[in-house]
Amino acid sequence: MTAAAQGPVDLSMFGVDPWWLVVLKALAIFAFLVLTTLVLILAERKVMAWMQMRVGPDRVGPKGLLQTVADGLKLALKEGITPAGVDKPVYLLAPVIATAPAFMAFAVVPFGPEVSIFGTRTPLQLTDLPVAVLYVLAVTSVGVYGIVLAGWASGSTYPLLGGLRSTAQVISYEIAMGLAFAAVFLQAGTMSTSGIVAAQGGLWFVVLLLPSFLVYSVSMVGETNRAPFDLPEAEGELVGGFHTEYSSLRFAMFMLAEYVNMVTVSALATTLFLGGWHAPWPLTVWSGANSGWWPLLWFVLKVWLVLFVFVWLRSTLPRLRYDQFMALGWKLLIPVSVVWVMVVAVLRLLDTDGVLPGTASLVVAGLLSTALLFAWLLRRGQRERRAAATVGQNRTGEHFDAMAGGFPVPPLPSRSPTGSSPPASAARIPGGS
């Protein structure tokens, strides 16, 4: 039986904690995010070095374990330079706007069930709302304004372009992310995070709503500006993007916001699709796996599993072109999400009417939809490779179509877009012999 069939989610346990317990929970969340960021930066460098057959940090502290602390001290001791020509109030406020919402989003994330803290029974969650997931979406959207304002207030071309790219990125991927959440709301019957976790007491939504999980997995990488979607800070063409003109602690705040946002979207993936704080299947045979403080351990392990995927992607995938990035969001993720939400709604209705078993139908429909999507992507990739091979067979003297691959590509030195060989002078370097 789902949460929708059980009636409204009981939120009476929230908002009744004494003030000291609220402060304690807030400080614990802040400490968890800061410590996770410190460990994540080191773990990312170590894992990337291992994947790319490098050494990685191994000088500061035993086996390089204090490298993150050294980097933080270095940033703190650097001179904070404010370039001439910036809009100073906005320039100084932008890092704060980017960082604060990253911490605020964790207010509604459930870490575990009810426990006893100094004799007071309380859930391992700061608070909850009937629309908690929408609150997370709203807060994380505000954080993007920090990136946009930083690029605009810097008074420089490259940061401005990075801010504009960030705007397009958020518009493109928040729509797909919201549609992925819509399927979760339909299945759980609630928008509160504690209610969604309770609805996954049996089968996790990653199994029931596999297409939604895949769409969210791609969208969360785009939302956090991580490779292969790190276009707002693309070093190759934008020097450093929106934070080019920032240094010292202001630059550190942008980095902190990025890593805290990674933890936030990982915790959201855990809450919405991976069962939240519920123990994974082999451990559910133990009666105490989902009681006491043990669920906090399962939650943290799931979050780190998703964070590992972030590092894995950065270590293996190159940055997408801008047209590829926009096409992925608008031409693939959003249409797939819309169709899947309609499928979930129809199956839920048939389940309510007793026509089809809801759980089995969702699992079969999810697997079938995912298989069809990957088959279509594979066929499209083969078609694009054949088109690229056809373009590559053009020889000197043949017409070169710069738009054959869907994106303007300059001709190689041996080709000419007009069908004739380039003059010998075209290959010379100006000022050379």
- Checking if the pLDDT of 235 tops 80, the result is no
* Helix 358-392 / helix 334-352 crossing angle, nearest 10 deg: 160
Residue among 365, 5, 6 nearest 207 (CA): 365
Q: What is the signed CA dihedral for 16, 190, 130, 272, rounded to 10 degrees?
A: 80
Reduced to 3 states, what is the DSSP secondary structure of residue 113? strand
According to the model, what pLDDT value does residue 412 have? 59
pLDDT tens across 334-393, in order? 999 999 999 999 998 888 877 777 788 888 889 999 999 999 888 888 887 887 776 655
* Percent of the chain predicted with pLDDT > 70: 88
Q: What pLDDT shows up at residue 1? A: 42
> Is residue 371 assigned to a domain?
no
Percent of the chain's residues with pLDDT above 90 = 38
What pLDDT does 76 receive? 86
Name the pTM for this structure: 0.85
Report yes or no on 348 lying in a domain.
Answer: yes
Question: Tell me, what's the pLDDT at 3?
Answer: 44
Checking if the pLDDT of 213 tops 60, the result is yes
Note whether residue 349 is domain-resident.
yes
Residue 190 lies in a domain: yes
Taking residues 163-189, what's their average pLDDT?
88
pLDDT number for residue 259: 92
In 3D space, the residue among 296, 305, 272, 298 whose CA is nearest the CA of residue 284 turns out to be 298
Note the pLDDT tens digit of each residue in 112-127: 899 989 888 999 999 9
Tokens 């001709």 belong to 411
Q: How many C-beta atoms surround the C-beta of residue 404 within 10 A? A: 14
Mean pLDDT, residues 93-100: 90
Question: How far is it, in rounded angstroms, from Cα 145 to Cα 168?
Answer: 12
Domain annotation covers residue 45: no
Residue 217 lies in a domain: yes
Considering the domain boundaries, does residue 197 fall inside one? yes
pLDDT tens for 126-139 read 999 999 999 998 89
- 142 within domain boundaries: yes
pLDDT band at 36 (very low <50, low <70, confident <90, very high): very high
- At 411, is the pLDDT very low, low, confident or very high (cuts 50, 70, 90)? low
Domain count, the chain: 1
Q: What is the mean pLDDT of residues 15-35?
A: 92
Average pLDDT over residues 247-272: 92
Q: Give residue 277's domain range.
A: 80-281+290-359
